[in-house]
Amino acid sequence: MADNHPAGLAAEGARIVVADLARAEEAAAAYPDGVGLTVDVSREDEVARMVEETVGRCGGVDILVNNAGLYASLAMRPFTEIPLEEWNRVMEVNLASMFLACRAIVPIMRGQGGGKIVNISSGTPFRGVPFLLHYVTSKGAIVALTRSWARELAPSTELRRWFGHDPERFEEFQRRYREELAEHRDELEELRARAKSGRLTLVFGARDTEHNDAVVLAEILRGG
């Protein structure tokens, strides 16, 4: 979980429970009365244990932040070279974990009169970022998952999207994204050369100001 998420919640008086594969207790120790649980959130039995221990130690669940994800360890490569095992693991961690956590926690929130769920996605599906197809697909699915949940749980649920409606935050994201593209330009050019067709063409259904950085990506990959 990004450091600013639990820090902000703790500052508002929340008791933080960190669930991770490694160093969960160490991370939780940074927050007052924090709880660290070693959990593989892609496994149904471990998610059930996580929820049971959390309720037992904290009395309930008021806020769930779904932020588990595989990204940094993934190699950028053409989709034809992604092993099925790696594809499935990305879907398990990035997507199935959200399904499992929400399925287990929503009944608890209903029973206690309410709660908040935050699902962390990415801007990559809107830009059509290449060479990380499993990651981008999983993040796009999170958007669909969240929208469907909001309808299924209505009228008791309100869906809020902050990313596209925060111009300052999006501008900062665009700046950092362009810096990353410049930093990895040689690597992206190498990947483009490895593509079977030898040429990359990106087609966008809409090019509004919100997603202009997608055009920047296309220009860089084409050598512009």
Residues 80 and 145 in one domain: yes
Q: Say what the pLDDT of residue 171 is.
A: 64
- Rounded to two decimals, the pTM is 0.71
Residue 27 forms part of a structural domain: no
- Residue 143: CATH number of its domain: 3.40.50.720
Identify the burial level of 215 via C-beta atoms within 10 angstroms of its C-beta, where 0-12 means exposed, 13-18 middle and 19 or more buried: middle
CA distance 170 to 211: 10
Q: Say what the pLDDT of residue 172 is.
A: 64
Q: Say what the pLDDT of residue 122 is.
A: 86
Residues 115 and 182 in one domain: no
Residues 206 and 105 in one domain: no
Residues 51 and 111 in one domain: yes
Residues 152 and 183 in one domain: no
Query: What domain range includes position 87?
Result: 39-161
Residues 57 and 96 in one domain: yes
pLDDT, averaged in runs of 10, over the chain (224 residues): 71 91 93 94 96 94 91 92 97 96 92 87 85 94 88 67 50 65 68 46 32 35 36
Q: Domain boundary at 161, 187, 208, which? A: 161
Residues 45 and 98 in one domain: yes
Residue 202 forms part of a structural domain: yes
Residues 46 and 151 in one domain: yes
Residue 32 forms part of a structural domain: no
Residue 19 forms part of a structural domain: no
Q: Say what the pLDDT of residue 180 is.
A: 65
Residue 5 forms part of a structural domain: no
Residues 130 and 186 in one domain: no
Residues designated catalytic? 135
Residues 199 and 154 in one domain: no
Question: How many domains, the chain?
Answer: 2
Residues 153 and 175 in one domain: no
Q: Say what the pLDDT of residue 174 is.
A: 62
Q: Say what the pLDDT of residue 164 is.
A: 44
